[in-house]
Chain A
Amino acid sequence: MNNFSRLLSYLKPYRARVVMAVGLMVLVTLTALPMPRITQYVIDVALPKKQYHALNYVFLMVVLLYLVRGTISFLLNYTISWLGQRIVFDLRFQSYRHINRLSLAYYDKRQTGKIMARVIDDINVIQYMITGGFVTLITDILTLVVVIPVIFWMDWRLAFISITVVPIYVACYKLFLKRIRRLSEQLREKWDALLGALQEKIAGITVVKAFAREEHETERFMLTVQDNFSLGMQQAKLNRTLGVVATVIRAVGTGLIFWMGTKLVLGEQLQPGELIAFVGYIGYLYDPSVRLVDFNIQAQWAGAAMDRVFETLDTRPEITDAPNAITIRDMKGAVEFRNVTFGYEPDNPVLRNINLKVEPGKVVAIVGPSGAGKTSLVNLIARFYDVTEGAVLIDGVDVRQIRLESIRRQIGYVSQESLLFSVSIRENIAYGNKEATEEQIIQAAKDADLHDFIMSLPDGYDTKIGEDGIKMSVGQKQRLAIARATLTNPRILILDDATSALDSKTEANVQQALERVMKGRTNFVIAHRLSTIVNADQIVVMDRGEIVDIGTHAELVARPGVYKNLYDEQFKSAQEEALSALLG
């Protein structure tokens, strides 16, 4: 119930509207009351006494009553739907903003589909509960509060009888409750699993196809769908059984009232019209009772959704601005790693005791076997993750003391995988710098050796990428990502294996451009091809999470070690060729 009160707190800013809604609900409930009495009047008074003029009043009364009722319920529905939509809006906004604040570690561990399900589906479920369940609940409670005294006042014996059957229904419901709850949970879980599997297999279709696994996948998918099927059937059965119980109990209640009522009428203790009116009111008694139970089912469902939404909102972003974080306006680009130890999981460090000092404007190459921690190292500079021990400093300030935005705005990062968005090439390049001029965009594309390719497309820079757009090769995507990074004019440029998919010639072109771009910035370059890094001011050799050597190319090849081995390995064939050429 804790979650519900938390949800209610979202209504606080709209207190006035909530008060208005409750007021309107009271009015709507009250307008429901006169109708059975009017019928009673017609049957008991107007008809036997043949009062024709009374019928005119009745006509006017009914029309007026429904006019008032209609107006009020229109206002009520409008207010409620506004509130519901507004809460959806607020919750979505909050969740999305919060998810954006969470660090990459959050994304690493979750499928995109599941994150989306929270932002979209779960919040929708909550909205249905607010606009549907909550409103009905309150109206029903109000109705019960009003109707019970009314029927007792009309005839306490009949009222007593009609109420006696309600507990039977409640008992039945209690019996079912546990299973209904469990089923709801299972259904939700299976649905999540289905979405997750679907998302993964559609995104990974290349692998499915490459291994000719289409049939296997379809079968597997059908298993999840099958589960959903049988759970859905079970749920329908439970709900329906309860429905049958409700129908029968209601009929028994009504039947008992007629029985008892008939005796009273024949004994002249009750007017026939009163009995009809009474049966009309009974509807107000039984319907809400059944709905209260329905609400409970709905609340189960919404409760699970709320759990997940609030869990997301409560996930503390691991990376946040310190309260006294400063803004570095003009970063010089000095980077220092001071005794840095870091691991994605607490007891599994991927970086150990890293010490590294980089002067502004230098080019640092990082080499080492895969899994050595190269990407982890550069990820710490942009503070995608926080160090476990030690500190990373930019311009002498611990990155945890600098405002995140001011760090990332001044760092250009080109990752291993080039992620582009489904918009035009121009918008993709300008993603990091929306104010860039056309010339700047073209210059960035030229720097990445991509301009000629773009101009060869019919729509040039307006060509759409991705869905409904063109297909780009991995190398082209990488160059686009490089253009995007250079356009922001970063103080620190990080290229994480950004040129791996480029052929040597293109790479050489890009390299030339990059050398120009790198001027006046601090650069971190991860590359496997040694030819791309021999000119670095400093080469950092990493192995198993540690820095094993630092130096220039000339220094490093001069001494035995990991770098020398890498170098020899890669250049062996070239050396052989060259030597044989020299000797030959």
Chain B
Amino acid sequence: MRNFFRLLHEVRRYWKVLLLIGVLTLMAAALGLPGPLIVKYLVDHLVNRQPFSIFAVFCALVGVAIASGLVGFALTMSVTYLGQRFKLDMRRKLYGHMQTLSLGYFEKNQTGKLMSNITNDVATLDQLIGGGFVTLVSDLVTLTAVLIIIFTMNWQLALVGMSVFPFYIANYLLHIGKIKSTADDIREERDVMLGDLQEKLAGALVVKSYAKERSEVLQFVGQNRSLLNLNVRQGVLGTRLWTIAEFIGSGLGVALILWFGGRQVMQGNLSPGALVAFVSFITGYLYGPILRLIQLNDQIARTNAALRRIFATLDTEPNIKDRPDAIPLPPIQGAVRYENVWFEYEPGQPVLKGINLDIKPGMMVALVGQSGSGKTTMINLLQRHYDVTEGRITVDGYDLRDVTLLSLRKQVGVVIQETILFNTTIRENIRYGRLEATDEEVEEAARAANIAHVIEGLPRGYDTRIGEEGIKLSGGEKQRLAIARAILSDPRILILDEATSALDSETETLIQEALEHLMQGRTSFVIAHRLSTIVKADLIVVMEKGVIREMGSHQELLQQGGVYAGLYNQQFKVALDAIQTEGAAA
């Protein structure tokens, strides 16, 4: 219920539309009432063979229909507007909010579930708002009006007509518990199936290479079979509820009214036309609204799950946020300092333990170490994807937490391990680095990343689409595109996280040249396992289990004869052996 009130709060700002809807609903409900009364008038006159103006009746019927059609039109349009507007704003809010959340959030949530939050959950709310609220108002109005009318017409008959209500409600209450729990089961099962489906489709390569298609299909079938059973069960429950409801309302209720009302007519307490009107009031205007009102409660309960998920997303505080007093980071030189930095993803499991590092502007820093030693974490912190647990990181003396995220990330360029490109043209993919870049600048960046010749060799050049319905690029080509994208963004601090791992040595050398040129005057952090790509670094930082083990230039570290020298010798053993044997032979 708390969530529901919060939803009301969200809807409050559409009060103008809501007001309009309220008025239109009143009109629509009012326009529904004359129908049976006109029929009553007509029947009474006909039965008694009294002359009357049939033209007037005709006009009344058609007039009411036109009026109610127009009001209905206006009502539906405003309800649709409200619903669509609400969806639009809610989706903007959700998507915008998700964008502010840090990477950790996305790692923990499957893409499919996040999507369903924005698409399905919001649509569910729309149904409640478009359906539920309007129904509530219009049914309350109709109910009150009809009750007054039928009780003034004949209060005994009205009581008889309402005598079946308790059964009606009891039937509903008996079913609803089971229906609700089945609905929950269905949703759960469906979520599991969707999550699984998404993952297995995205991981098709693995499924195929292990020839697991059949077992995946079997699993899918299993999930669908239980969904099938649940859905059928839900269908049975729902049908039973409505069938019994129809029997009680249209069958028993009408039978009672005809029986008792007939007697009233014979005793002269009721006109035949009133009896006919009674039947249509009771069946059309009384049972329906009452049921819908009870249902509204259920509808709220059903949307509750969607509400809960939506608000859970909106309530997820971005763990990285601009401080209220955060200032934009002015154009920086690129001096980076890690001061006693501790960091943990999970409480109690520090990944970085007291890192101290002082980088002068323009330096090239290489991070070396075993996988899992904390290299990627180091640069994630520099981009402020996470905040340090202890200590601080400064850029040009500014604590990262004191400046706005946007101004920081605009000046930090990254090429990450897993190359992610979007489903658009090559040009647009490169331009993602700087949206206002001209075509020339895009092409220049491509040249700097040594990918221009590949692109120009394509029939459609820079306008070639990649991804879906587009061409397939090799891993190395993708990485070079990502590098071009970073080059274009012209950052003051450049981060290359294993960016060149998929490149063969030759291509890497070409890129290395471009990068070296690019790194001039920029601070750069490079994570690479190949020592040959990092021997030129101004500072090599050797990491092990979250601490810095060694630091220095290539020469210094070799002379120290520590971890780095060990790594180096390992990788070049073959070459050294070869050279030594050659040397020995000489």
Assess the A107–B201 pair: CB atoms within 8 A.
Answer: yes
Contact A202 B418 (CB under 8 A): no
CA distance A93 to B212 in the complex (A): 16
Determine if A111 and B467 form an interchain contact, defined as CB atoms under 8 angstroms apart: yes
Are A63 and B467 touching (Cβ within 8 A)? no
A443 to B: closest C-beta gap in Å: 18
Binary flags per residue of A223-234, CB closer than 8 Å to B gives 1, else 0: 001101100110
Q: What mask results when residues 555 to 575 of chain B are scored 1 for a CB within 8 Å of chain A, else 0?
A: 000100000001110111111
Q: Is B437 an interface residue (CB 8 A)?
A: no
Which residue from A467, A505, A531 sits with its C-beta under 8 Å from B109? A467
- Contact at A233–B209, with CB atoms within 8 Å? no
Whether B110 sits at the interface, judged by CB under 8 Å, is: yes
CB distance from A368 to the nearest CB of B (A): 6
Interface residues of B in 460-504 (CB under 8 A from A): 467-472, 474-477, 479-480, 485, 489, 498, 501-504
Interface size class of B (residues with CB under 8 A): 35 or more
Task: Mark contacts of A168-208 with chain B using CB atoms, 8 A cut-off: 1 yes-contact digit, 0 otherwise.
Answer: 00000000000000000000000000111011111111111
Those of A235-273 within 8 Å (CB) of chain B: 236-237, 240-241, 243-245, 247-248, 250-252, 254-256, 258-259, 262-263, 265-266, 272
Interface residue tally for chain A (C-beta within 8 Å): 181
A78 in contact with B235 given A89-B225, A229-B87, A531-B572 (CB within 8 Å): yes
Q: In the bound complex, do residue A344 and residue B72 qualify as a contact, i.e. CB atoms below 8 Å apart? A: no
**Chain B residues with CB under 8 A of A67:** 247, 251
User: B206 CB to closest chain A CB, in angstroms?
Assistant: 5
Contact between chains at A432 and B501 (CB < 8 Å)? no
A85 to B228, Cβ gap below 8 A?
A: yes
Q: Is the CB of B199 within 8 A of A422?
A: yes
Q: How far is the CA of A453 from the CA of B370 in the complex (A)?
A: 12
Which residues of the partner chain A approach B209 to less than 8 Å between Cβ atoms? Answer: 382, 384, 408, 411, 413, 415
Q: Hey, which chain A residues are within 8 Å of B251, CB to CB? A: 62-63, 65-67, 69-70
- The answer to whether A81 and B235 touch (CB under 8 A), given A70-B251, A93-B224, A367-B504, is yes
Compute how far the CA of A476 lies from the CA of B179 in the bound complex, rounded to whole angstroms: 46
Q: Which residues of A contact B39 (CB under 8 A)?
A: 276, 279
Pairwise interchain contact B43-A43, C-beta atoms closer than 8 A: yes
Among the stretches A4-12, A53-61, A303-311, A387-395, the one at the interface with B is: A53-61
Q: When chains A and B are docked, how far (Å) is the Cα of A504 from the Cα of B569?
A: 10
Would you call A431 and B206 a contact (CB within 8 A)? yes
Q: Is the interface of B mostly helix, strand, loop or mixed?
A: helix
Cβ–Cβ contact A276 & B252, under 8 A: no
Please indicate the chain B residues that have their CB under 8 angstroms from the CB of A372 in the complex: 504
A214 touches B100 (CB 8 A): yes
From B3-11, B308-316, B404-412, the one touching the partner chain is B404-412
Tell me if A421 counts as interface (CB < 8 A to partner B): yes
Please report which residues of chain B, range 96-127, place their CB below 8 angstroms from some CB of chain A when the two chains form the complex. 96, 98-100, 103-104, 106-115, 118-119
CB-nearest residue of chain A to B93: A218
Does B295 interact with chain A (Cβ within 8 Å)?
no
Once bound together, how far apart are the Cα atoms of A236 and B81, in whole Å?
A: 9
CB nearest to A63 among chain B residues: B255
Contact: A113 with B115, CB < 8 Å? Answer: yes
Min CB gap B119→A, angstroms? 7
Any A CB within 8 A of the CB of B2: no
Q: Find A251's partner among B42, B64, B216, B372 (CB 8 Å cutoff).
A: B64
Check A262 against B54 for contact (C-beta < 8 Å): yes
Q: By CB atoms of chain A within 10 A, which of B263, B406, B476 has the most? A: B476
Question: Given A202-B114, A422-B195, A501-B371 in contact, is the A251-B62 Cβ separation under 8 Å?
Answer: yes
Q: Which residues of A contact B109 (CB under 8 A)?
A: 467
Query: Is A582's CB under 8 angstroms from B580's CB?
Result: yes
Instruction: Tell me the bound Cα distance from A220 to B123 in angstroms.
Output: 20
Which residue on chain A has the smallest CB distance to residue B207?
A100
- Residues of B contacting A569 in the complex (Cβ-Cβ under 8 angstroms): 505-506, 509, 532
Which residues of A sit under 8 angstroms from B46, Cβ to Cβ?
262, 265-266, 272, 275
Cβ–Cβ < 8 Å partners of A579 in chain B: 579, 583
User: Chain A residues near B558 (CB, 8 Å)?
Assistant: 577
Cβ-defined contact, A237 with B115, below 8 A: no
Segment at the interface with A among B236-244, B355-363, B441-449: B236-244
In the assembled complex, the CB of A524 is this many whole angstroms from the nearest CB of chain B, namely 13
Binds B, one of A13-21, A114-122, A136-144: A114-122
Interface digits, B368-409 against A, CB 8 Å rule (1 contact, 0 not)? 111111001000000101000000000000000000011011
A211 smallest CB distance to B (angstroms): 6
Residues of chain A within 8 A of B69, CB atoms compared:
243-245, 247-248
Please indicate the chain A residues that have their CB under 8 angstroms from the CB of B501 in the complex.
497, 500-501, 528
In the complex, which of the residues A69, A202, A572 contacts B98, with contact meaning CB atoms closer than 8 Å? Answer: A202
Interface residue B136 (Cβ < 8 Å from any Cβ of A): no
Known: A59-B255, A471-B107, A574-B576. A74 touches B210 (CB 8 A): no
Asked if B504 and A205 sit within 8 Å, CB to CB, the answer is no
Residues A47 and B265 in contact, CB atoms below 8 Å apart? yes
CA distance A241 to B80 in the complex (A): 14
Check B88–A116 contact: CB distance below 8 A: no
Complex contact B383–A210 (CB within 8 A): yes
User: 1/0 per position for B418-448, CB-CB distance to A under 8 A?
Assistant: 1011110000000011010000000000000
Query: Is A548 close to B, CB under 8 A?
Result: no
Contacts of A47 in B (CB 8 A): 47, 262, 265-266, 272, 275
Q: Which of chain B's residues have a CB closer than 8 A to the CB of A78?
A: 235-236, 239
Q: Are A109 and B469 in contact (CB under 8 A)?
A: yes
Q: Which residue of A lies closest to B469 (CB)?
A: A109
A476–B47 Cα distance when bound, in Å, is: 89
Are the C-beta atoms of B217 and A240 separated by less than 8 Å? no
In the complex, what's the smallest C-beta–C-beta distance from B256 to chain A, in angstroms? 7
Q: Which residues of chain A are near B370, meaning CB under 8 Å? A: 475, 503, 505-506
CB proximity of B504 to chain A, nearest CB, Å: 5
The chain B residue sitting closest to A119, CB to CB, is: B197
> Closest Cβ of chain A: how far from B498's Cβ, in Å?
6
Whether B532 contacts A574 by the Cβ 8 Å rule is: yes
Cβ of A326: which chain B residues have Cβ within 8 Å of it? none
Is the Cβ of A232 less than 8 Å from the Cβ of B471? no
Contact check, B371 vs A503: say whether CB atoms are below 8 A apart: yes
Which single residue of chain A is at the shortest CB-CB distance from B583?
A: A582
B151 within 8 A of A: no
Please state if B57 and A473 are interface contacts (CB–CB under 8 Å). Answer: no
* B523 located at the interface, meaning its Cβ lies under 8 Å from any Cβ of chain A in the complex: no
A222 contacts chain B at the CB level, 8 A cutoff:
yes
Check A427 for interface membership: any CB of B closer than 8 A: no
Residue of A109, A119, A276, A411 ringed by the most chain B CB atoms within 10 A: A276
Cα A96 to Cα B95 with chains together (Å): 30
Question: Which residues of chain B have C-beta atoms less than 8 A from A265's C-beta?
Answer: 46, 49
Known interface pairs A52-B266, A110-B468, A210-B383. Does A120 touch B194 (Cβ–Cβ under 8 Å)? yes
The CA of A420 and the CA of B200, in the complex, are separated in Å by 10
Instruction: Please state if A507 and B255 are interface contacts (CB–CB under 8 Å).
Output: no
Give chain A residues whose Cβ lies under 8 Å from the Cβ of B304.
Answer: none
A213 at the interface (CB under 8 A from B): yes
A561 lies within 8 A of chain B by Cβ: no
Question: Is A221 close to B, CB under 8 A?
Answer: yes
Q: When the two chains form their complex, are residues B57 and A408 in contact, meaning their CB atoms are under 8 A apart?
A: no
- By the criterion CB–CB under 8 Å, are B108 and A467 in contact? yes
| Residue of B207, B239, B558, B573 most packed against chain A (CB within 10 A) | B239
Say yes or no: A112-B504 contact (C-beta < 8 A), given A225-B91, A254-B61, A415-B205: no
Find the B residue at minimum CB distance from A419. Answer: B203
Pair A506/B247 contact, Cβ less than 8 Å:
no
Complex Cα distance, B528 from A529, in Å, reads 12
**Which residues between 419 and 439 of chain A lie within 8 Å of chain B, taking CB atoms?**
419-422, 431-432, 434
B211 touches A409 (CB 8 A): yes
Chain B hits for A562, CB < 8 A? 506
5 contacts between A and B (CB under 8 A): A43-B275, A232-B84, A371-B454, A382-B208, A502-B371
Q: Other CB < 8 Å A-B pairs besides A110-B468, A204-B420, A570-B505, 6 of them?
A: A69-B251, A85-B232, A195-B119, A251-B64, A375-B474, A574-B568
Nearest 4 A/B pairs, CB to CB? A370-B476, A475-B371, A66-B251, A251-B65
